[in-house]
Amino acid sequence: AKDPVRVLVTGAAGQIGYAIVPMIARGAMLGPDQPVILHMLDIEPAAESLNGVKMELIDAAFPLLRGVVATTDVQEACTGVNIAVMVGGFPRKEGMERKDVMSKNVSIYKAQASALEKNAAADVKVLVVANPANTNALILKEFALSIPQKNITCLTRLDHNRTLGQISEKLNVHVGDVKNVVIWGNHSSTQYPDVNHATVTTSSGEKPVRELVANGQWLNKEFITTVQQRGAAIIKARKLSSALSAASAACDHIRDWVLGTPKGSWVSMGVYSDGSYGIQPGLVYSFPVTCEKGQWSIVQGLKIDKFSRGKLDATAQELIEEKSLAYSCLN
Ligand code: NAI
């Protein structure tokens, strides 16, 4: 029998937290034969509600769930964790300036970086979900120097999955038959969903999405804004932000990272740039990646046309500005 893996979820009393903990306990993140111990962190005002979530986890009698730690102590929460899913953060409230939100999150991610560095397993894999996700991951990396850069990532898999969903709806094909879309850049409205390399498996082999979607205009305009604005559309419809799809995407992200991507396909992850595709090193940027043996690597050699180049650079520019805003909050 396998030893249990310890999975931390911060902000566990929130919406995404409530959706993701049962998924993890059912094996959607690490597989159906991997026991888990859940570590759930939230802040003092949510302590009672967090305890309620723990009660429900016990009541669900998940066979894979070997223990639950529910705490408001960040050091205790981080102790011995192998996977850390960082969902907790300070949301933007009406009337708040971007800088105020950034400043709150920079101090949260700075403190949690140190707690992880001190208490987590040496090879902990970190996924930042809380917004601004790329920049929170960057701050976490800067303040957790002993955690390898390669172990700190942010979530753009939801955007990736949304892209697969849009193409599948448009072409009326199974979503599982669409692959190799890319989300480039920031998890924000400047992200670039790119289908230039994407294919659909059909009865007569793999066909490029560009060939199947006759309307190139749709792909260059409406499709891109639909994906970029999907988060806002969900808020408008639900009066709450996406939670089940975000939780599911976070499970997909970790599962593929740990267990590997299927042969011939890639996924999108926010990772520390090494300069690939002309993106300046030192940004956490979403790239196409393949994963093997618990390591991701950026897919190389994709052809970037002029239209795409502009989009890749625009979202990089936004990340450069976010980074400098974050640094100005540190001082
Ligand atoms: P929520 O507000 O329902 O939950 C957030 C939880 O974090 C709350 O329970 C809160 O008490 C807790 N929290 C606040 N400060 C904390 C701290 N210092 N330590 C631990 N916990 C803390 O929000 P929801 O809907 O669950 O979303 C969480 C985050 O995920 C938000 O920042 C949201 O913008 C982001 N998000 C990111 C997505 C992505 O694709 N990257 C998709 C959807 C949401």
pLDDT of residue 8: 99
Q: How confident is the model at residue 95 (pLDDT cuts 50, 70, 90)?
A: confident
Which atom of ligand 1 lies at the shortest distance from residue 249's CA?
40
State yes or no: is 187 an active-site residue.
Answer: yes
90 CA distance to ligand 1 middle (Å): 7
| Token representation of residue 21 | 């903990």
- Residue-averaged pLDDT of the chain: 97
184 CA distance to ligand 1 middle (Å): 23
Which atom of ligand 1 lies at the shortest distance from residue 156's CA?
40
Which DSSP string corresponds to 240-273?
S---HHHHHHHHHHHHHHHH-PPTT--EEEEEE-
For residue 140, pLDDT over 80 is answered with: yes
Q: What is the per-residue pLDDT across 171-203, written as a single tens digit (0 to 9) for each?
A: 999 999 999 999 999 999 999 999 999 999 999
* ipTM > 0.90, yes or no: yes
The binding site for substrate comprises 92, 98, 131, 162
**CB of residue 158 inside a 6 A radius of ligand 1:** yes
pLDDT mean over 121-145? 97
Q: How confident is the model at residue 274 (pLDDT cuts 50, 70, 90)?
A: very high
Ligand 1 binding pocket mutation candidate from 44, 85, 87, 159 (most atoms within 8 A of CB): 87
pLDDT of residue 80: 98
**CB of residue 155 inside a 6 A radius of ligand 1:** yes
For residue 93, pLDDT over 90 is answered with: no
| Token representation of residue 30 | 């690490």
Q: How confident is the model at residue 215 (pLDDT cuts 50, 70, 90)?
A: confident
Q: Measure CA 282 to chain center.
A: 18
CA–CA dist 326, 265 (Å, integer): 34
Q: How far does the chain reach from its first CA to its final CA, in angstroms? A: 49
Which has the closest alpha carbon to 268: 171, 197, 317, 212?
Answer: 197
How does DSSP classify residue 3?
A: P
For residue 208, pLDDT over 80 is answered with: yes
**CB of residue 38 inside a 6 A radius of ligand 1:** no
201 CA distance to ligand 1 middle (Å): 36
Which has the closest alpha carbon to 269: 90, 128, 81, 89?
Answer: 128
89 CA distance to ligand 1 middle (Å): 5
pLDDT mean over 296-320? 98
Buried b (16+ CB within 10 A) or exposed e, 211-241: ebbeeeeebeeebbebbbebbeebeeeeeeb
Q: What is the per-residue pLDDT across 39-91, written as a single tens digit (0 to 9) for each?
A: 999 999 999 999 999 999 999 999 999 999 999 999 999 999 999 999 999 98
Which atom of ligand 1 lies at the shortest distance from residue 155's CA?
41
Query: Quick check: 175 and 189 in contact, CB under 8 A?
Result: no
pLDDT mean over 250-264? 98
For residue 331, pLDDT over 80 is answered with: no
Ligand 1 binding pocket mutation candidate from 131, 135, 190, 285 (most atoms within 8 A of CB): 131
Residue whose CA lies nearest to ligand 1 atom number 18: 108
pLDDT mean over 307-326? 97
Q: pTM of the entire structure?
A: 0.98
Q: How confident is the model at residue 216 (pLDDT cuts 50, 70, 90)?
A: confident
Residue with tokens 């230039």: 196
How does DSSP classify residue 185?
A: B
For residue 92, pLDDT over 90 is answered with: no
CA–CA dist 302, 322 (Å, integer): 27
Which has the closest alpha carbon to 208: 178, 250, 238?
Answer: 178
pLDDT of residue 1: 84
**CB of residue 42 inside a 6 A radius of ligand 1:** yes
For residue 261, pLDDT over 80 is answered with: yes
Query: Quick check: 222 and 229 in contact, CB under 8 A?
Result: no
The one-letter amino acid code at 51 reads N
